[in-house]
Amino acid sequence: MVGVTAYLLLFVVIAVVAVVAVVGVVIAVRPIQQAREAERLARARRDFHRQREPLEAKFIERAASSGKPRGLHWLDVEFDDDVVYARDRRTGRLKALVAIEVSFEAVAGGGMEEVEAVSRVRAATAEFIHDGSRWQTNGRVYFNMAPSATVRYLTSELEMVAEEHALPPS
């Protein structure tokens, strides 16, 4: 009977030591993971700014060729300097959201020639996606929403990671 109790006590001690060791490793690893994630975010942000001009051109090309909004031709897009970074909850991919102002003109025969609102500049948000190694865009636009409002609207899909505000001119 004493032998069984000793083995049971030894088993409990080993189990407790194992649990404490696992908890210790988890506590020690978390700051390392957070530091790596912060470095990945910093690198992605630097890359976004380095690639921004060609990304904006690709965005305009893709958004304009989407056929949306129907009956309108994209005339001009003005990009804001501020950037909101969000993470896709499903894929883990980082997204950069940038406020834009879009000007349209009616396409001949598209049914929008007589609509007065066609000439109004539209506020929207442009989406850029980081695939883990580089930034790209599919021309996705969120009309009538600022970048931070887009994150709030898509809160089940996106989580806010960072906001960058351009410095005002000196």
Q: Is it the case that residue 94 has pLDDT exceeding 90?
A: yes
Look at residue 41 in the predicted model and tell me its pLDDT.
85
State the average pLDDT over residues 14-36: 77
Smallest CA-to-CA distance from 95 within 123, 64, 59, 71 is with 59
**Mapping DSSP to helix (H, G, I), strand (E, B) and coil, where does residue 39 land?**
helix
The mean of the pLDDT values for the chain is 86
Smallest CA-to-CA distance from 127 within 37, 50, 40, 55 is with 55
**Cα gap 51→47, rounded to integer Å:** 6
* Dihedral pair phi/psi, residue 20, rounded to 5°: -60, -40
State the average pLDDT over residues 26-46: 79
Look at residue 48 in the predicted model and tell me its pLDDT.
94
Are 74 and 63 in contact, with CB atoms under 8 Å apart?
A: yes
Residue 118: both structure tokens together: 């066609």
Tell which wins on pLDDT, 8 or 137.
Answer: 137
Tell which wins on pLDDT, 132 or 117.
Answer: 132
Are 158 and 87 in contact, with CB atoms under 8 Å apart?
A: yes
